């Protein structure tokens, strides 16, 4: 019995999304790497770039029988196919279609803030890298982080993808 083609999320090595996309496409798999546009700050200028909407993941449309699962798993940069235990779980078609529609019809589509007001976060990039502070406000793809010391607070507005929830490992 022939298995039906479905969409599966493929976990990639860090920063290997485009490599995996190209490698799978070269093997004649249908692949989708959702990307959004954002501004990258260089020393001397700002440049618009594309970033993966789901860092570390690409989506492949296939049936996983007849050696195709092995072909996907042996592709350079692939870590695993997302699932429950060893059983891959398909991604509902309507969810990927919704992402496609959002990305193609909205100029400001991008990741949602992972942090909520009052949450402790750490800045992961830029000149404030390493700073730990409290989220004061979120708006579109910006977040205001406040750092308090000796009864005084300092705040800065940052891109939401520059911060992650802070995990105190002390």
CA angle 6, 9, 15 (to 5 degrees): 145
| CATH code of the domain occupying 6-105 | 3.30.70.940
Q: What is the pLDDT of residues 19-66, one digit of tens each?
A: 999 999 999 999 999 998 887 777 788 888 888 988 899 999 999 888
Reported confidence tier of residue 85, pLDDT bands at 50, 70, 90: confident
Task: List all residues 6 or more positions away from 42 whose beta carbon is below 8 Å from its beta carbon.
Answer: none
Give how far Cα 129 sits from Cα of 27, 40, 44, 56, Å. 40, 15, 19, 21
Per residue in 134-160, pLDDT tens? 887 777 666 666 776 556 666 777 777
Domain boundaries, given as residue ranges, for the chain? 6-105, 120-165
């Amino acid at each position: 019995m022939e298995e039906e083609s479905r969409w599966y999320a493929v976990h990639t090595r860090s920063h290997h999304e485009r490599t995996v996309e190209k490698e799978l496409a070269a093997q004649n798999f249908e692949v989708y790497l959702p990307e959004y546009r954002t501004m990258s700050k260089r020393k001397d200028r700002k440049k618009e770039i594309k970033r993966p909407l789901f860092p570390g993941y690409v989506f492949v449309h296939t049936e996983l029988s007849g050696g195709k699962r092995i072909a996907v798993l042996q592709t350079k940069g692939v870590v695993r196919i997302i699932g429950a235990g060893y059983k891959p779980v398909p991604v509902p078609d309507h969810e990927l279609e919704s992402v496609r529609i959002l990305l193609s019809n909205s100029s400001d589509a991008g990741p949602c803030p992972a942090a909520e007001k009052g949450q402790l976060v750490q800045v992961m990039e830029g000149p404030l890298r390493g700073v730990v502070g409290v989220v004061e406000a979120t708006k579109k793809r910006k977040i205001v982080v406040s750092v308090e010391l000796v009864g005084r607070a300092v705040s800065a507005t940052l891109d939401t993808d520059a911060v992650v929830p802070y995990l105190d490992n002390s």
